[in-house]
Amino acid sequence: MSDHKPTGIKRWLFTTNHKDIGTLYLWFAFTMFLVGGAMAMIIRAELMQPGMQVVDPLFFNSMTTMHGLIMVFGAVMPAMVGFANWMVPMMIGAPDMALPRMNNWSFWILPFAGTMLVSTLFMEGGGPAFGWTFYAPLSTTFAPKSTDFFIFAVHMLGFSSIMGAINIIATILNMRAPGMTLMKMPLFVWTWLITAFLLIAVMPVLAGAVTMMLTDRNFGTSFFSAAGGGDPVLFQHVFWFFGHPEVYIMILPAFGIVSQIIPTFARKQLFGYASMVYATAAIAFLSFIVWAHHMFTVGMPVAAELYFTYATVMIAVPTAVKVFNWTATMWKGAMTFETPMLWAVAFVFLFTIGGFTGLMLGVAPADFQYHDTYFVVAHFHYVLVTGAVFAIIAGVYYWLPKWTGNMYDEKLGKLHFWLSTISVNVLFFPQHFLGLAGMPRRIPDYAIQFAEFNFMSSLGGFAFGLSQLLFLFIVIKCIKGGEKATDKVWDNPEGLEWTVPSPAPYHTFETAPQIK
């Protein structure tokens, strides 16, 4: 078996290899993570003290907007697709993705979409400054000219995601090795299968929303303008019909990664495999019928507010099942705490905190006080940073030896973990207090009573941001060399990926393995 492949830039431009494409996705995601992170640093610098010291209010708004868009569409989603590319074929015993050429295309759209999105910042009138949720009419009638480029970028990102999702579904449903029945698939594969269906269902809805924006802006329609018979609130319904499942698109693969890691380091199989699969499916289903809990204050009929409250809090049940399952998996295991396990355990704790505040936000009457405050900011950063991003980092440490053939520096990995975990809590925990005390989100300046916690939060933010440069260093160091990894890497991990050599050869499973 030869690893024949073009070399240099051509290898990466024309590659149809799932491992190469996975690598591209992961590097793109990390780059965008740093870009979005730099914007977060600007935000925290401005908010460090009361008064306007660093940027003007309009630029501040475009920073919060771009930070959100870049982290969601540029960092977290592509990172998860990168994991899927690398791991799904190896986990199900397939030689590659089902549609390798489309795979190439779905990646290479991304850098162009990302560049177009970032370029809006340099256009006349400034970049989008209407929040990552881009509510009309602030994003239509009252938006800068660059908004049309933003719309185009979102369309391209959507194409990429849909193609990626089609590819993952086709791979999982058609390319499993003999004997790899659905209920034998690793949980990471399951979570991605369900995520891919979510993507196919909701990305077109987002495309619809931005297309309506485009025609409202340029072709005289009035979907979102009451003056022409439309309704600004329609935008929010359409957006959140996409936006709520989108949250699960980012977190379900994270559940999958953590469900791979915890059993390995507890040396004990996942407590309830089947119930984890069903819980994932239940969360995915519920994600379609709860969207309006993001918009309790728009003035819905009381019956709708009650319905969306009840449906929303129901999500706590399958989510609790997941947390209980991880707990029961650790219980009476023989745990060790290598870096991936540390991140996974922190994920269980901190994601659960985000889940608790999510439950609080789901109750409409209480949400009237929490809505659009820093309490919400704290909530979704616990879910997305200490949730999704922590799982991504855990996954990188877990599979990096398999990808590179070298062990990462365990000491530095642990240092990275402790620095990040402490600073991230200094960064986001005080934001709960700020929100409850009445600080609205998306403001560049605030009343004096919010000064102390904002200062604290900014310090945590700078420390967390700097810690991620250490991560970059650790990854590069590991690629360049280090202690050679064994095929199994860890102490007896489950899964086909550990049956191939480290680093994984360019082509794996050209003859399908037999699963008992």
Q: How far is the CB of 139 from other proteins (least distance, A)?
A: 9
Q: Helix, strand, or coil here: 3?
A: coil
Question: Closer CB to other proteins, residue 175 or residue 342?
Answer: 342
Q: How far apart are CA 346 and CA 417, in angstroms?
A: 9
Question: How far is the CA of 266 from the CAs of 88, 120, 140, 397, in angstroms?
Answer: 23, 47, 52, 16
Nearest CA among 189, 304, 159, 180 for reference residue 256: 189
Question: Closer CB to other proteins, residue 201 or residue 359?
Answer: 359
Instruction: Map tokens 């072709």 to a residue.
Output: 219
Q: How far is the CB of 435 from other proteins (least distance, A)?
A: 9
Cβ neighbors of 304 (< 8 A, separation 6 or more) are 292
User: Structure tokens of 466?
Assistant: 């700097």
Tell me which of 100, 440, 495, 503 binds other proteins, using CB under 8 A: 440
Strands (E), 68-188: none
Q: Does 234 bind other proteins (CB under 8 A)?
A: no
Q: Helix, strand, or coil here: 139?
A: coil
Q: How far apart are CA 77 and CA 109, in angstroms?
A: 14
Tell me which of 13, 173, 182, 447 binds other proteins, using CB under 8 A: 447
Question: Closer CB to other proteins, residue 337 or residue 473?
Answer: 337
Residues 277-306 contacting other proteins, CB under 8 A: 297-299, 302, 305-306
Tell me which of 328, 419, 422, 470 binds other proteins, using CB under 8 A: 328
Check whether the bond before 137 is cis (ω within 30° of 0): yes
Residues 464-503 contacting other proteins, CB under 8 A: none
Question: How far is the CA of 405 from the CAs of 88, 354, 399, 462, in angstroms?
Answer: 19, 35, 10, 33
- Residues noted as catalytic: 67, 96, 132, 160-161, 244, 246, 248, 259, 293-294, 319, 322, 441
Question: Closer CB to other proteins, residue 132 or residue 197?
Answer: 132
Cβ proximity of 253 and 347 under 8 Å = no
From residue 202 to residue 231, what is the string marking binding to other proteins with x (rule CB under 8 A)?
Answer: -----------------------xxx---x
Tell me which of 446, 464, 471, 490 binds other proteins, using CB under 8 A: 446
* Cα atoms in the 13 Å half-sphere on the side-chain side of 79: 28
Residues 93-152 contacting other proteins, CB under 8 A: 125, 129-131, 135, 137-138, 141-142
Question: Closer CB to other proteins, residue 107 or residue 375?
Answer: 375
Q: Which stretch binds other proteins (CB under 8 A): 6-14, 80-88, 113-121, 445-453?
A: 445-453
Nearest CA among 36, 174, 52 for reference residue 117: 36
Question: Closer CB to other proteins, residue 328 or residue 422?
Answer: 328
Q: Which stretch binds other proteins (CB under 8 A): 11-19, 23-31, 252-260, 429-437?
A: 429-437
Q: How far is the CB of 476 from other proteins (least distance, A)?
A: 31
Residues 239-278 contacting other proteins, CB under 8 A: 266-275
Tell me which of 285, 337, 418, 506 binds other proteins, using CB under 8 A: 337
Q: Which phi and psi angles does 98 have, rounded to 5°?
A: -65, -35
Q: How far apart are CA 187 and CA 231, in angstroms?
A: 42
Ramachandran region, residue 299 (left: φ > 0; alpha: ψ -120 to 50; beta: rest): left
Tell me which of 445, 472, 488, 495 binds other proteins, using CB under 8 A: 445
Q: Which stretch binds other proteins (CB under 8 A): 73-81, 150-158, 206-214, 312-320?
A: 312-320
Residues 346-385 contacting other proteins, CB under 8 A: 348-349, 352-353, 356-357, 359-360, 363-366, 368-369, 371-373
Cβ proximity of 261 and 254 under 8 Å = no
Question: Closer CB to other proteins, residue 126 or residue 204?
Answer: 126
Q: Does 418 bind other proteins (CB under 8 A)?
A: no
Judged by CB under 8 A, the number of residues near other proteins is: 95
Residues 34-63 contacting other proteins, CB under 8 A: 50-53, 55-58, 61
Q: How far is the CB of 516 from other proteins (least distance, A)?
A: 18
Q: Which stretch binds other proteins (CB under 8 A): 25-33, 205-213, 406-414, 446-454?
A: 446-454
Q: How far apart are CA 72 and CA 64, in angstroms?
A: 12
Residues 142-161 contacting other proteins, CB under 8 A: 142
Q: How far is the CB of 60 from other proteins (least distance, A)?
A: 9
Q: Does 321 bind other proteins (CB under 8 A)?
A: yes
Q: Which stretch binds other proteins (CB under 8 A): 70-78, 103-111, 153-161, 314-322?
A: 314-322
Q: How far apart are CA 462 and CA 22, in angstroms?
A: 30
Q: Does 436 bind other proteins (CB under 8 A)?
A: yes
Cβ proximity of 438 and 369 under 8 Å = no
Cβ proximity of 148 and 84 under 8 Å = no
Residue type, 220: G
Q: Does 310 bind other proteins (CB under 8 A)?
A: yes
Q: How far apart are CA 117 and CA 69, in angstroms?
A: 9
**Helices within 363-409 (DSSP H only):** 364-370, 374-383, 390-404
